[in-house]
């Protein structure tokens, strides 16, 4: 007997009895994950290591004082937010499609960034909500760090602005890459939860560390320029 199941993605045929039953067929997905599941983890470790190299080169310098405290925050927030979005998109595809087949409204592998953040589609709404959480979340962590380790926090409003801007840039890039990578891995009949989240969290570490380094560098350059201007003004007097 054959039974047809119809939904919005098409019609699928279930044959019965299924010839592929028992321990042999149950072990095939596990064998597939054992064979290909380690590669994303190893590559994610390599990507994260580049962020560690950046931190190692900068943390001992005076102009980057306090960077070691902010690094886990910016990397952790970005990684957690993109992991949530990746899981949501993956669940959405599991509900409305089958591995290897993308829905018609997700056929493009490289979607327009506006479609990722500015439409009424459920994944776009989720991306906007997560993006709106970035600034309040970082302000809370920033205030906690200021209370605990106030002497290591740069005393500059410019640094706060650049820090929040860097956080927004990091999460925006990660959320867009999540949309792209989930579509690519789903098209290859791979589970996005296992193959996308390690890559994206590793990229989050690299982007967070790199952008945080730029924040401290720009803050130091601006303060140095202001200090030089301050010294030059008295020298120009009579």
Rounded Cα–Cα distance for residues 107 and 179 (Å): 12
How do residues 184-201 score in pLDDT, each as one tens digit?
A: 999 888 888 888 999 999
Burial class (CB in 10 A: 0-12, 13-18, 19+), 238: exposed
Rounded Cα–Cα distance for residues 202 and 48 (Å): 5
pLDDT at 3: 40
Rounded to an integer, what is the distance from CA 231 to the centroid of its chain? Answer: 43
Task: Give the containing element (helix H, strand E) for 12.
Answer: strand 10-15
pLDDT, mean of residues 62-75: 90
- The pTM (predicted TM-score) of the whole model is 0.77
pLDDT at 37: 63
Measured CA distances, 72 to 67, 164, 202, 237 (Å):
9, 15, 13, 47
pLDDT at 35: 52
Rounded Cα–Cα distance for residues 35 and 3 (Å): 34
Rounded Cα–Cα distance for residues 57 and 212 (Å): 13
Could you tell me what percent of the chain has a pLDDT over 90? 39
Rounded Cα–Cα distance for residues 153 and 155 (Å): 6
pLDDT at 44: 82
How do residues 11-32 score in pLDDT, each as one tens digit?
A: 333 334 444 434 333 434 444 4
Average pLDDT value for the chain: 79
Rounded Cα–Cα distance for residues 157 and 93 (Å): 43
pLDDT at 103: 82
pLDDT at 30: 42
Of the given ranges (4-8, 139-143, 176-180, 211-215), which has the lowest mean pLDDT? 4-8
Give the closest residue to 130 by CA, choosing from 192, 197, 60, 178.
178
> 94 pLDDT exceeds 70?
yes
DSSP of 90-149, one letter per residue?
Answer: HHHHHHH--TT---GGG--SS--HHHHHSSSSHHHHHHHHHHHTHHHHHHHHHHHHHHHS
Per DSSP, the three-state class of 18 is: coil
Per DSSP, the three-state class of 61 is: coil
> 86 pLDDT exceeds 90?
yes
> Which band of pLDDT confidence, cut at 50, 70 and 90, is reported for residue 232?
very low
């Amino acid at each position: 007997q054959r039974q047809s199941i119809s939904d919005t993605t098409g019609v699928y045929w279930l044959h019965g009895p299924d010839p592929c039953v028992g321990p042999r067929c149950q072990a095939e997905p596990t064998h597939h994950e054992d064979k290909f599941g380690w590669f994303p983890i190893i590559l994610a470790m390599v990507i994260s290591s580049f962020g560690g190299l950046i931190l190692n080169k900068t943390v001992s310098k005076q102009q980057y004082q306090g960077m070691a405290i902010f690094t886990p925050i910016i990397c952790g927030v970005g990684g957690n937010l993109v992991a949530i979005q990746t899981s949501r998109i993956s669940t959405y595809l599991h509900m409305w499609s089958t591995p290897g087949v993308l829905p018609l409204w997700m056929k493009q592998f490289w979607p327009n960034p506006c479609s990722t953040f500015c439409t009424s589609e459920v994944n776009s709404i989720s991306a906007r909500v997560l993006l709106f959480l970035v600034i309040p979340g970082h302000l809370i962590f920033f205030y906690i760090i200021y209370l605990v380790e106030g002497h290591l926090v740069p005393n500059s409003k410019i640094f706060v602005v650049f820090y929040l801007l860097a956080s927004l840039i990091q999460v925006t890039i990660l959320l867009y890459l999540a949309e792209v990578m989930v579509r690519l891995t789903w098209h290859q009949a791979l589970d996005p939860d296992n193959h996308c989240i390690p890559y994206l969290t590793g990229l989050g570490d690299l982007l967070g560390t790199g952008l945080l380094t730029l924040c401290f560098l720009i803050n130091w350059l601006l303060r140095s320029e202001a200090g030089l201007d301050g010294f030059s003004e008295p020298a120009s007097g009579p």
